[in-house]
Copies of this chain bind each other. A is one copy, B any other.
Amino acid sequence: MKKSTENPADLSARIAGEIRDAIVSGRLIVDERLPSEAELASQFDVSRPTVREALKRLAAQSLIRTQRGATGGAFVNRLRFEDAYGQQITTSTLLLSMNEVSFDVACEARFTMERACAPLAAERRGPEHLARMRAEIERQQQPDLSDEAFCASDVAFHRALVDAAGNPVLSYQLAGAVEGMLPLMNMITFTARSRENILRLHGEIAEALERRDSGAVIEALSALEHYTLQLGQQVIVARTARQG
């Protein structure tokens, strides 16, 4: 009952773990101030640099924030979605880029979840969501758009679709799944023809959402999944050829 994690870890990791447990279990509540570094050092019977390493670990996970000065110190951070987004995206990106996950699997997961959002989005979408989607469609029509900008706009489009579901947890999960695929998507060369195909499907999605026709949204998303998979295959082939 004394130490939650296994023994032979680094001191700073152990201390970070103990404080993390205290936060997650609720023994330390939001905005509560932790003891000063010197006090923690004496409590855990270690030096201040060791305590600092532990605190930096927690700061990296956005569990605490620090403040300098007389009334400063380390405070339990109220985890915000923006903070969680960043970590989620970093993690997803790495899982993909390190080949731990294939493009196909990531693609399937992404569109599976996105389709799951369709019924909610069809029910709850507001005019602002339609406007955002239409704006991105318009941008995607500009012929002098770079491939990277096209990808970014594509992400924004799907982001609007997911946000229309009105559930921040879904938005958060999808952010990782969609933006994590960005690096690979950015390797795709979008021909005029492929842009045309994508644009047509985006248009269908927007229209279906306006009609609150979730079935049509799902259908268009499935078509888009199939097409994205095709485009992704080309990148995979090119990449493995270069590596081999």
Interface residues of A (CB under 8 A from B): 12-13, 16, 20, 23-24, 26, 30, 49, 52-54, 56-61, 63, 78-81, 84, 87-88, 90-91, 93-95, 97-98, 100-101, 105-106, 108-110, 112-113, 115-117, 120, 167-170, 172-173, 176-177, 183
Copy number in this complex?
Answer: 2
Additional 13 contacts, C-beta under 8 A, given A23-B94, A78-B98, A106-B169 = A16-B60, A26-B97, A53-B53, A57-B60, A60-B60, A61-B90, A79-B94, A84-B95, A87-B87, A87-B91, A109-B167, A109-B173, A113-B116
Which of B13, B100, B170 has a CB less than 8 Å from the CB of A80? B100
CB-based closest 9 A-B pairs: A116-B116, A109-B169, A57-B60, A60-B60, A53-B56, A79-B94, A109-B170, A112-B116, A56-B56
